[in-house]
Structure 1
Amino acid sequence: MNGPAAASPEQVRIWQPAGLPGLQMMQATYVTTTFARHTHEGFGVGVIERGALGFYYRGENVVAGQGRINLVNPDEVHTGQSATEAGWTYRMFYFGAETLQRAAAEMAGRHAELPFFTSGVLDDPQLAALIRSVHLRLEDAAVPLLERQSVFLHMLTRLIARHADAPPAQRPAGREHRGIRRAMDHIAANFSEEISVDALAAVAGLSPYHFIRVFCRATGLPPHAWLMQYRARVAQAMLRRGIPIADAACGAGFADQSHLNRVFKRLFGYTPGQYSNSVQDG
């Protein structure tokens, strides 16, 4: 009698993260699957986590091994198959041309042409680590909207700056103190709500990309980190007043108590429970 069939080593997950319209994400493992010649309407950018992907691209056969970035331009014919017996695992972003063109325009502070990438395989460990990190962050539903939008925009601009054939010259980051002060006041008044990078940039009177750069220069932190720090301080104040941890997490704008726990440990080195006990004992 035959035993149960072995589980397929091939796995695919596809999803669309909230707050980033037009973006599709995928994590997949393929072993025997082969992709026929095809194109995508938009860009595909990913990183190989394990194994190696072989594909035909722009007139040649190329291989993206572990730690390499694989990339396709819109409407560029390509294939796909394993370059090793064990297959490959990768994380992918798929997004429209208008998304990358907007990022390029924000870098330049004016209209910019759609970036083009000659190579389908990039050997850039720093950028590959960033792409994987952003993919993991966007996989976490507890990550605030402001952070999701900020890290994705940062990833796109780094890709353009480092590897586009003709990256736009970046507009110098000024200080714009009044705009940044208005954005900080907006965070303080709306900390428990989902705040978008577009909304903060509009309050500051800047484009989203320029706003993030200027905010970092002025405060030493990106806007999403400033928001998280502000929420953590609000939660501390609530705990000092004896408010239960779960209620403090909700009131300060955290997804749940577990999210508050992680942020406290990362920022302060102790848990909300430890902090609550210390102020009660005092």
Structure 2
Amino acid sequence: MEKRRQGAGLGLEEKTTFWRDPAFNDLELLQATYVTHSFAPHTHEGYAIGVIESGAERFKYRGSSHIAPQGWVVAVNPGEVHTGEAAIERGWSYRMFYPDVSLVQRAASPDEAPTLDVPFFPSPVIHDPMLAGMLAQLHLALASSPSTLERESRLTWTFAHLVMRHADTRLIERPTRGGRSIVQHVRTYLEEHATENVSLDQLASLVQLSPFHLLRVFRETVGLPPHSYLTQLRVMRAKRLIASSMPLAEVAGAVGFSDQSHLTRHFKALVGVTPGQYARACQR
């Protein structure tokens, strides 16, 4: 579903088209031009893979700042905190895929059953003109081709080349692993009380740490402060409820946001499209 907005003061038009493909585990796809929009720090349950069609994007990822210019590929691993904003005044346009882990796993072992290993991309920006072209053609095919065979063939072939050429096949370590039982306890509590107005003092008392110490450990382990993690939990739940056809007017309260405008602001900051656009894409 498509939405347009003028880039403030630049005379440039922002445009987003978002949809899901039920044939590939509800693969989420986005074609967008952003000028003034910036993504808040967030993660994805699956991968974020795409190609920059024009302009350049800047994003923070794994402790460093990266720039993806026109013709380059972006590959963000599951569970990794990252941002996104324009690297140049006229912004950037890109085509993005958000596949779940199993979809990419199958590409990592196309001749046999998928292993338990998860492909890991060591670099989030990749210069590979041939692959960039393949990703763009795949995105176009998923948007417009009526041929199931073409869509399936392009997806398998493209993701297999992406993995074979640029991934290490190893188990991705989730942020909560490595003996961080305190942080896991806090995350579980937030997941169970996501609709409540949880305080930092509550969380600190829960694990018997000072608020400052909890903030430091949580940020070091997860990459986000607890309040940002809670916001992301709510947005992820909102996506599931919207996909299940719950009316938008009811979603905000159901996931813990104070009102629909609050939901819309955070949803757009993390997903890149509005709840309404996401709802229309889920109805296709």
Q: What TM-score comes out, normalization by structure 1 length?
A: 0.54
Matches within 5 A, 1:122-271: 122-140=126-144, 142-166=145-169
Matches within 5 A, 1:57-72: 57-72=61-76
Which of residues 1, 20, 23 in structure 2 aligns to 1:19?
23
For each residue in 1:10-62, what CA deviation from the matched residue of structure 2 results, as whole angstroms up to 9, or x when unmatched? Answer: 11100123522221111000000111111011001000001000000111100
More strand by share: 2
Give the aligned partner of residue 41 of structure 1: 45
For each residue in 1:62-114, what CA deviation from the matched residue of structure 2 results, as whole angstroms up to 9, or x when unmatched? Answer: 00000000111101000100000000000001111111112223345563511
Same amino acid, percent of matched pairs: 44
Counterpart-to-counterpart distance in 1, 2:134 and 2:111? 18
3-state SS, counterpart of residue 24 of structure 2: coil
3-state SS, counterpart of residue 75 of structure 1: coil
- Relative to structure 1, the CA distance from residue 85 to residue 123 in structure 2 (aligned partners, 3 Å threshold; closer, same or farther) is same
3-state SS, counterpart of residue 66 of structure 2: strand
3-state SS, counterpart of residue 120 of structure 2: coil
Give the aligned partner of residue 55 of structure 1: 59
Unaligned runs of 5+ in 2: 171-284
Counterpart-to-counterpart distance in 2, 1:16 and 1:110? 23
Q: Is the 8 A contact 1:104 1:113 kept in 2?
A: no
For each residue in 1:121-157, what CA deviation from the matched residue of structure 2 results, as whole angstroms up to 9, or x when unmatched? Answer: 00000100100011111111x4311111111111110
The two structures, once aligned, show a CA RMSD in angstroms of 2.0
Counterpart-to-counterpart distance in 2, 1:99 and 1:166? 14
Give the aligned partner of residue 233 of structure 1: none
One-letter code aligned to 2:153: S
3-state SS, counterpart of residue 21 of structure 2: coil
Counterpart-to-counterpart distance in 2, 1:124 and 1:98? 24
Q: Is the 8 A contact 1:104 1:112 kept in 2?
A: no
Q: Is the 8 A contact 2:117 2:169 kept in 1?
A: no
Counterpart-to-counterpart distance in 1, 2:93 and 2:83? 16
For the pair shown, the structure with the greater C-alpha radius of gyration is: 1
Highest relative contact order (Cα 8 Å, sep 6+), 1 or 2?
Answer: 2
Q: What TM-score comes out, normalization by structure 2 length?
A: 0.54
Give the aligned partner of residue 119 of structure 1: 123
Give the aligned partner of residue 77 of structure 2: 73
